Amino acid sequence: MKIIESVKEWNLIKYEAVTLEYIELISEDIDRTKKTIEIVINNLEKQEESDLMFSKKQAAQLVGVTEETIRNWERNELIPQSLPYQKRFYSQAILKRMYVIRLLLLNGYSIMIIRKFFMHYNLGERSNAIESLINPIFVHHLQLE
């Protein structure tokens, strides 16, 4: 809006300043996206698995979310669902996935984008998974095929 206002006022000095400010914001967003993707991929590819299992309450506390949030992630197929009315326990791999989901949500990604990311990642399509985070149009295009 600041750019449009400066053009409307024909204030070229203001136009240059707000345009440069906008370009800087876009650059920061691109850097943040790249860092997020690097953290996500590195976290998922670590192979430090153990036999530890965590209850929903423990998992929620460790990840920093509510138990209802974890239920929501199950309903949205971001993490595997247990059988109905069965006490849920989560492996360290699922806990790691929860951390990634939380990180992506905190960085502004939608549940739909995160689902597409994991769909590609689980199929071994690493480049498509990364592309789904970088380019939402790519995700939309894949849905149409």
- Quote the pLDDT of residue 72: 92
- Quote the pLDDT of residue 141: 44
The pTM for the full model equals 0.66
Ranges of residues in the chain with a pLDDT under 50 are 138-145
- Quote the pLDDT of residue 26: 78
Q: Distance (Å, rounded) from C-alpha 26 to C-alpha 119?
A: 28
Cα distances (Å, whole numbers) of residue 77 to 11, 26, 50, 66, 115: 51, 31, 23, 17, 7
Helix (H, G, I), strand (E, B) or coil at 70: helix
- Quote the pLDDT of residue 73: 93
**Contact assessment for residue 56 and residue 90, using Cβ atoms and an 8 Å cutoff:** yes
pLDDT single digits (tens) 50-82: 678 888 899 999 899 999 999 999 999 899 877
